[in-house]
Structure 1
Amino acid sequence: MHTAAASMGSLPELLRNHQPRLRAICRRMCGPDDDPDDVLQDTYVEIVRHLSGFRGDSSFMTWATAVARSQLNRHRRRHRRHALRDDAIDTASRSYPALLGRGEREPELQACTDSLRASLLTALAELTELDREVFVLRELEGMTAPEVASALELSVPAVKSRLHRARRCLRANLDGDPRVVELR
């Protein structure tokens, strides 16, 4: 049986080429109680284990994202937690480092950026896990609705509905904050 994996080149090269984006996806999909590095490592193991089964029906990145999500769910089942801890902002800032860039800035601008980051992370933590995953993949990773649907095993209308719900929730949680631009 011919698989798409056979024509994709060497596995180390494939993983090296997709590693930055896959790492970012794992970090963004993980909630404050999840360890994105553990999820990423488990994802690599599963990719290696099941690469021969990759048929090429979707892009490798879409397939790898679905593998990462499966590993995240497996990780959550093994490490059940029932609520966000009081230090959710500190923990979440490690999970979502790309929401707002960091760099050398004037202290006033840095303080405003840090405050806005905290507000955004708090608002993201209010979303359900699935709504947060849809929002992260669509808005922060730039995946198309069909790619998100394939990665999360949802229909395209379900992705659009969850994205709308996530935007509405974020808009409600951030309403009145002049630092936040209108969410589509």
Structure 2
Amino acid sequence: MKAPASLISAAQTGDPFALEQLISNSYPDLRRYAQKHCHASHAEDAIQETLLIATRNIRSLRQLHSWLAWLVTILKRQCHYLFRAFNINVHLTDAEWSEFIERTPTHSLKTELIAALESLPPHYLEIILLRDFEELSIAEIAARLNENIPAIKSRLHRARTLMREYLLSSADIN
């Protein structure tokens, strides 16, 4: 979405209707970015913080044509900030991860796994299902999705990281 310079200029001078229009036009793009790049439970908070920061600082935007890039930069920082603020430790050793799995009751673990899967954006869920449930190889997944192997590996890694983040944050392990 490219915001018209006149709309941005009007918002910079304090026009609340122009600002509302900018925000509502930008929200879908921010939502898409946040769903792909933020921890699932932080996406909406990151968007709201981004819009608040942008609203407070819109007068500092000098390049009117870079409205969306400016918002995405703020959103990227907010995603990172929220991730660090919640101090989710996804770098457990294998022994620590095994201990977590062993001490979590099976029924609880199943419920948490289902919730973690449901929290994934669709493109990550698809990769997890193809690899871990259908047991397809990386090459088979790449062929099925018409993508290259490094992209599939990267998406699988990110999906598993999101799953682990969700499980660890729900269990409050740090």
User: Which TM-score tier does this pair reach, normalised by the shorter chain?
Assistant: 0.5 to 0.7
Is 1:176 the counterpart of 2:140? The answer is yes
> 1:117/1:67 Cα in 2 relative to 1: closer, same or farther (>3 Å)?
same
Is 1:43 the counterpart of 2:50? The answer is yes
Is 1:53 the counterpart of 2:65? The answer is no
**Aligned AA for 1:66?**
T
In the alignment, what sits opposite 1:96? Answer: 121
Separation in 1 of the partners of 2:121 and 2:131?
A: 8
Structural mapping, 1:6-85, within 5 Å: 6-7=9-10, 10-32=18-40, 34-56=41-63, 59-83=66-90
**Aligned AA for 2:121?**
Y
Structural mapping, 1:127-138, within 5 Å: none
CA positional deviation for 1:118: 2.6
% identity of equivalent residues? 18
- Which of the pair has more CA radius of gyration? 2
**Aligned AA for 2:68?**
M
**Aligned AA for 2:48?**
Q
> 1:73/1:121 Cα in 2 relative to 1: closer, same or farther (>3 Å)?
farther
Unaligned runs of 5+ in 1: 101-113, 123-172
**Aligned AA for 1:6?**
S
Between Structure 1 and Structure 2, the one with more helix by share is 2
Unaligned runs of 5+ in 2: 92-96, 98-108, 152-174
Separation in 2 of the partners of 1:46 and 1:121?
A: 40
In the alignment, what sits opposite 1:155? Answer: none
Is 1:118 the counterpart of 2:128? The answer is yes
Instruction: Give the TM-score normalised by structure 2.
Output: 0.52
CA positional deviation for 1:68: 0.2
> 1:75/1:14 Cα in 2 relative to 1: closer, same or farther (>3 Å)?
same
CA positional deviation for 1:31: 3.0
Q: Which runs of 4+ in 1 moved over 3 A?
A: 84-95, 119-122
1:39 and 1:75 in contact (8 A); partners too? yes
Instruction: Give the TM-score normalised by structure 1.
Output: 0.50
CA positional deviation for 1:39: 0.9
What CA deviation, in whole Å up to 9, does each residue of 1:50-83 have, x standing for no partner? 1111111752111110010111121122111111
Tell me how large the CA RMSD over aligned residues is: 3.6
1:39 and 1:71 in contact (8 A); partners too? yes
1:43 and 1:67 in contact (8 A); partners too? yes
1:30 and 1:95 in contact (8 A); partners too? no
How many equivalent pairs are there? 116
